Structure 1
Amino acid sequence: MNDPSGAVIGLDFDGTLSPIVPDPAAARIHPAAPDILAQLSARMSAVVILTGRPPATVLELGPGLTDVPGLVILGHYGFERWENGRISAPPPPAGVPRAEAELPMLLDALGLTGVAVEDKGRAVAVHTRRSPDPDGAFEALRRPLAALAERNGLVVEPGRYVLELRPPGMDKGQALSLFLAERAARSVMFVGDDLGDLAAFDAVRASGLPGVTVCSGSAEVTELAERADIVVDGPDGVMALLKELTAEVRG
């Protein structure tokens, strides 16, 4: 990287900095990540985590992230921002708790078992990974959840055995584009693993900046790998790539 001081490094959390696990609450950041991110942040324009999770949850699941100098966490696809120890966000949308209240009856009516509902504050996620038939449950939920989201002024974001109901008007692409403009970035790299990261890949290409897209690969999602400049093997591969980048910019 010829101009590290003008570079922005953007990263997803789940599946990128943290391995995917059956229970989202049990996820933990890769043990090498905080130190590597701290080294990168000292040499780059910015390191930013872009995630569907709330920033407070990312900090809870990522011990050591508060020690990364200058780190920014854009949670809820950019609706919430953590920086310098403070979280800023607009008021929570009313449609999310209304949709969440309807979910138990919907799941019961569909006869689905092993499906977990995750309250994310500004969003609600429905996970099918622990269902006896994860793919079947995922497909059975697509249309009913789309209708539920529409009734409550929300949109559905599909992911790796998860369907997330959240407010419209922001995605990882928009959030990344705004952040690049804010930092007057001169180059960008984004690392992700899931369908929600496609918008960030598009933002890298639309920025007109020298950019690299990286897929933290898995057998569950192939669309991202097909669009990526580089494919690595999960969070371990992400750490290896970032470590190489750290050595490069160190000189």
Structure 2
Amino acid sequence: MTDLDAAARELARVPRLLVALDFDGVLAPIVDVPSQARPLPATAAAIDALAGLPDTTVALLSGRGLADLATVSGFGRPVRMVGSHGGEFDDGDAGSLLDDAQRARLDRLVAELRELVDGEPGVALEGKPAGVAVHVRNAPPEVATRVLDAVRAGPAARDGIEVTPGKAVLDLSVVRMDKGAALEVLRERVDAGAVLFAGDDVTDETAFARLRPGDVGVKVGPGDTAAEHRVDGPPDVGALLELLVQVRGGR
């Protein structure tokens, strides 16, 4: 039995459990076209089973906008969803509504980014309720570097703009948000005794940093991390969730 297996078996027996999961690179393999990402079938089945167990909350915690996350994941209640790095909660209590100054700031940000990336091959903008993500995964390396450097030196440097770097993406927002703070909100709302969080990106480190004794953090893939455990990819996450279903369902 691996250390992670042992930790998962112990975690599965807590009275109230919160399982919070990033989506891309964790439940779904990374793909060139973000709209085509889908959770692995076995993983989706494990999530449905886990979410149906008593005193168990499963939440997707993603940088994607909430509507986009719901579309690509295919999940509905009782699976909870938090989008835009914690800027949108599916119960509407996320504080995602902007005041007039923030709305004006967002309009300017969108206009500047559209002008900046116009004609750049492989670069895509993803609009969100409180910001914009600049995706360069499909851009030639020299284009990706040039565009991201220009974004950092220009729109990202403006007052009131929050910047969250990720894998081949730069998220810009007019409100402060991170997954760590969102995880704390979820923990409090469901009164969880322990948390499992799995993520693959640098944006997930804010959540790993918020984990407490008795929680389990799982880094998916390579890279420096504060998580105690690591797996190679989405199939391993699916196997971990299946183990939780087996043990928690039989407790």
Output the TM-score relative to the length of structure 2: 0.83
| Residue number in structure 2 paired with 1:185 | 192
RMSD: 2.3
- SS of 1:156's equivalent in the other structure is strand
| Contact 1:96–1:152 (CA under 8 A) maintained in structure 2 | no
Distance in 1, Cα, partners of 2:33 & 2:70: 17
Structure 2 residue 85 is matched with structure 1 residue 77:
yes
Distance 1:169 1:120, change over 3 A: closer
Deviations 1:126-171 (A, max 9, x none): 11111121xx444434443233133262111111111111133220
Deviations 1:94-134 (A, max 9, x none): 223321211233235xx84322222233221111111121x
| Residue number in structure 1 paired with 2:231 | 232
Distance in 2, Cα, partners of 1:29 & 1:167: 30
Stretches of 4+ aligned residues off by more than 4 angstroms: 86-89
Aligned length: 234
Distance 1:142 1:196, change over 3 A: same
Amino acid at match of 2:151: L
Amino acid at match of 1:241: L
Deviation at 1:88, TM superposition (A): 6.3
Amino acid at match of 2:238: M
| Contact 2:43–2:237 (CA under 8 A) maintained in structure 1 | no
Amino acid at match of 2:38: R
Amino acid at match of 2:156: A
Amino acid at match of 1:189: L
Output the TM-score relative to the length of structure 1: 0.83
| Residue number in structure 2 paired with 1:151 | 158
Q: Report which structure shows greater RCO (CA 8 Å, sep ≥6).
A: 2
| Residue number in structure 1 paired with 2:62 | 51
Distance in 1, Cα, partners of 2:176 & 2:124: 26
**Structure 1 portions without partners, runs of 5+:** none
| Residue number in structure 1 paired with 2:216 | 212
Distance 1:119 1:152, change over 3 A: farther
**Structure 2 portions without partners, runs of 5+:** 1-9
Deviations 1:196-245 (A, max 9, x none): 000000011xxx34111101215xxx123xx3222122211110111112
| Contact 1:114–1:132 (CA under 8 A) maintained in structure 2 | yes
**1:13 counterpart (13, 23, 26):** 23
Distance in 1, Cα, partners of 2:24 & 2:248: 26
